[in-house]
């Protein structure tokens, strides 16, 4: 209400930087609140369904987190900038992984005051193996096609993802106790 009363359509508000900072901080608060609720829903579903948090994280959070990037990168590539879409497909998850793990690890160490050990269950080892395989496959196919990414690369990566998803799901269903959620 104060903004409507104290500003004019004809000139820029004098406190525009303050408004931008407040808007940025509020967006961070909303993202935190919504992310916390999504995690709570996934934990509740895992308890109600008797499933492990890893499977629901893989099904719901990972896919939901990637859909926006998929859509954005698809439309960037379709608008005539395929290299930008291709680079964003690798750069965005890499930034998310490095910054996300880096900040989370630093915060945990600062909170605990010491280093902590991380469990490395079979599912995480398999996921890491598939990640390396996908990166090497993409590099090999792009190199073999003289630095050109074609339909074959997309099909191979989709097939590799389906194989990964099947293997992880099979491991979880075969021995859900191996997960340390």
Q: Does 131 or 50 have the greater pLDDT score?
A: 131
- Nearest residue to 46 via CA among 63, 60, 32: 60
- The confidence score (pLDDT) of residue 177 equals 61
Q: What are phi and psi of 7, to 5 degrees?
A: -120, 165
- The confidence score (pLDDT) of residue 58 equals 73
- Condensed to tens digits (0 to 9), the pLDDT of residues 78-103 reads 999 988 988 888 888 888 888 988 89
- Could you give the C-alpha distances from 153 to 108, 111, 126, 127, 144, in angstroms and in order? 38, 43, 21, 20, 11
Q: Rounded mean pLDDT of 160-170?
A: 90
Is residue 130 pLDDT above 90, yes or no?
yes
* Cβ contact 90:73 at 8 Å: no
Is residue 15 pLDDT above 90, yes or no?
no
- The confidence score (pLDDT) of residue 155 equals 93
- The confidence score (pLDDT) of residue 137 equals 93
- The confidence score (pLDDT) of residue 157 equals 92
Spatial distance between the Cα atoms of 46 and 38, rounded to a whole number of angstroms: 12
Q: Residue 48 corresponds to which tokens in the numbers above?
A: 């109600």
Q: pTM value?
A: 0.68
Is residue 181 pLDDT above 70, yes or no?
no
* Cβ contact 172:179 at 8 Å: yes
- The confidence score (pLDDT) of residue 117 equals 78
Which among 57-66, 106-115, 129-138 has the top mean pLDDT? 129-138
Confidence band (pLDDT; 50, 70, 90) for 3? Answer: low
């Amino acid at each position: 209400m104060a903004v409507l009363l104290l500003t004019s359509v004809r000139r820029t508000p004098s406190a525009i930087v303050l408004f931008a900072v407040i808007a940025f901080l509020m967006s961070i608060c909303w993202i935190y609140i919504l992310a916390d609720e999504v995690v709570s829903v996934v934990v509740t579903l895992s308890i109600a369904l008797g499933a492990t948090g890893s499977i629901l994280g893989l099904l719901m959070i990972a896919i939901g987190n990637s859909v926006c990037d998929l859509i954005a990168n698809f439309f960037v590539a379709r608008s005539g900038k395929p290299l930008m879409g291709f680079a964003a497909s690798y750069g965005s998850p890499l930034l998310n992984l490095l910054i996300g793990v880096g900040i989370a690890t630093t915060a945990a160490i600062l909170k605990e005051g010491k280093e902590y050990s991380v469990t490395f269950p079979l599912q995480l080892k398999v996921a890491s193996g598939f990640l390396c395989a996908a990166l090497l496959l993409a590099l090999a196919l792009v190199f073999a096609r003289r630095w050109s990414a074609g339909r074959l690369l997309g099909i191979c990566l989709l097939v590799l993802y389906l194989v990964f998803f099947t293997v992880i799901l099979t491991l979880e269903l075969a021995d859900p106790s191996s997960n340390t959620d």
